[in-house]
């Protein structure tokens, strides 16, 4: 081997090592740095956080963590009974905080957004945090399906409404109201504001038989990037952060809590810890990022063979259960 080739290979190896070391250091910093959440907290005027889909699961986890951090919280959901129950539980746990509720069905977008918008205007709350957590496919019909041939238009619209349209319309309606009070008792200069949009690993690793949901979650991440860039260009003090979420224990997912599967509250805490990280889209819980690595580096043909087959098996299993009912 010529000395020139040896020098080239040594240089290439050193460059690769330094590059991977830089990625590792960036990863460690991202998941260990202190959160900038306190930046959005004010006692005068008292600031509020609005959490959509807060009746249970990750949404309820966010409510807990925000209350612990000193925020007053508005719980949004479609079931007034569940919201009232959670509100009472949280009020007993956090007596020094204020908690309110607003009802809106995410599959009835126009009506739900109008309810939230009117609620904020009437109450005059100074909202500095909006967490777009609402989403999912459970309860909307079969979970796994090919989008052509087995999915009707109404089913598709419910998924699009719940996982895409509601989030986008919520941003449109609420962002102009954030950081100030409609009652005129806040500073004329809006307080800094934060929007967190909850995405999914499926928005990155698109899988068959969940095409509509995966497409919506990909939209969530792109929307977050574009919205963040837009606010920066307009000179507005609004941080927008898209959070990629993997498997999480919740009311809809009864998986055991493990190193790879956090509780809803652990997931919410991890997401809040990413505030101020300087990135537009991040994986919220670091073990999920580790899980994603082989999927993201896997050749497409291998991903189709392994993960595609797994999704097809899930689809066929669900079809058997539906036919047996």
pLDDT of res. 150:
75
The answer, yes or no, to whether residue 91 has pLDDT greater than 90, is yes
pLDDT-based confidence at residue 234 (cuts at 50, 70, 90): very high
Comparing 16-20, 287-291, 313-317, the range with the smallest average pLDDT is: 16-20
- Give 72's strand partners: 48
pLDDT of res. 7:
64
Please spell the DSSP secondary structure of 177-206, one letter per residue. GTTS-TTS-S-SSPPPEEEEEE--GGGTS-
Domain residue ranges in the chain: 37-295
Check residues 6 and 222 and name the one with the higher pLDDT: 222
Q: What is the pLDDT of residues 44-53, one digit of tens each?
A: 899 999 999 9
CA atoms 113, 117, 123, 128: torsion sign: positive
Q: What is the pLDDT of residues 155-208, one digit of tens each?
A: 899 999 999 999 999 999 999 999 998 765 545 678 999 999 999 999 998 889
pLDDT of res. 255:
86
Mean pLDDT of the chain: 91
Please spell the DSSP secondary structure of 279-305, one letter per residue. -SEEESSHHHHHHHHHHHHS-HHHHHH
Q: What is the pLDDT of residues 3-27, one digit of tens each?
A: 776 766 677 677 777 767 777 787 7
pLDDT-based confidence at residue 300 (cuts at 50, 70, 90): confident
pLDDT of res. 325:
77
Say which CATH topology domain 37-295 has: Rossmann fold (3.40.50)
What is the total residue count of the chain? 325
Instruction: Give the count of beta carbons closer than 10 Å to the beta carbon of residue 163.
Output: 26
For 93, half-sphere exposure in the C-beta direction (CA atoms, 13 angstrom radius) is: 15
Percent of the chain with pLDDT over 70: 94
pTM to 2 decimal places: 0.91
CA atoms 225, 74, 34, 249: torsion sign: negative
């Amino acid at each position: 081997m010529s000395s020139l080739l040896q020098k080239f290979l040594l240089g290439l190896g050193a460059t690769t090592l330094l590059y991977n070391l830089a990625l590792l250091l960036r990863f460690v910093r991202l998941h260990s740095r202190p959160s900038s959440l306190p930046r959005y907290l004010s006692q005068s005027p008292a600031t509020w956080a609005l959490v959509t889909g807060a009746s249970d699961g990750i949404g309820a986890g966010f409510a807990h963590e925000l209350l612990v951090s000193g925020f007053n919280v508005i719980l949004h959901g479609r079931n007034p009974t569940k919201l009232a129950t959670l509100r009472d539980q949280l009020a007993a746990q956090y007596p020094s905080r204020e908690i309110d509720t607003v009802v809106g069905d995410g599959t009835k977008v126009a009506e739900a957004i109008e309810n939230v918008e009117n609620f904020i205007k009437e109450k005059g709350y100074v909202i500095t945090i909006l967490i777009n957590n609402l989403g999912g496919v459970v309860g909307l019909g079969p979970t796994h399906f090919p989008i052509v041939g087995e999915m009707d238009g109404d089913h598709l619209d419910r998924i699009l409404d719940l996982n895409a349209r509601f989030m986008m319309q919520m941003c449109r309606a609420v962002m102009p109201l954030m950081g100030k009070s409609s009652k005129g008792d806040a500073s004329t200069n809006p307080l800094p504001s934060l929007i967190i949009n909850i995405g999914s690993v499926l928005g990155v690793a698109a899988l068959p038989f969940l095409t509509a949901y995966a497409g919506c979650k990909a939209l969530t991440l792109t929307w977050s990037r574009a919205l963040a860039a837009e606010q920066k260009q307009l000179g507005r003090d609004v941080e927008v952060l898209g959070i990629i979420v993997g498997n999480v224990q919740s009311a809809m997912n009864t998986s055991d809590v493990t190193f790879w599967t956090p509780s809803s509250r652990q997931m919410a805490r991890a997401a809040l810890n990413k505030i101020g990280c300087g990135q537009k889209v991040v994986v919220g819980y670091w073990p999920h990022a580790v899980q994603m690595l082989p999927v993201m580096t896997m050749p497409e043909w291998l991903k189709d063979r392994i993960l595609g087959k797994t999704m097809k098996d899930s689809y066929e299993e669900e079809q058997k259960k539906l036919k047996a009912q």
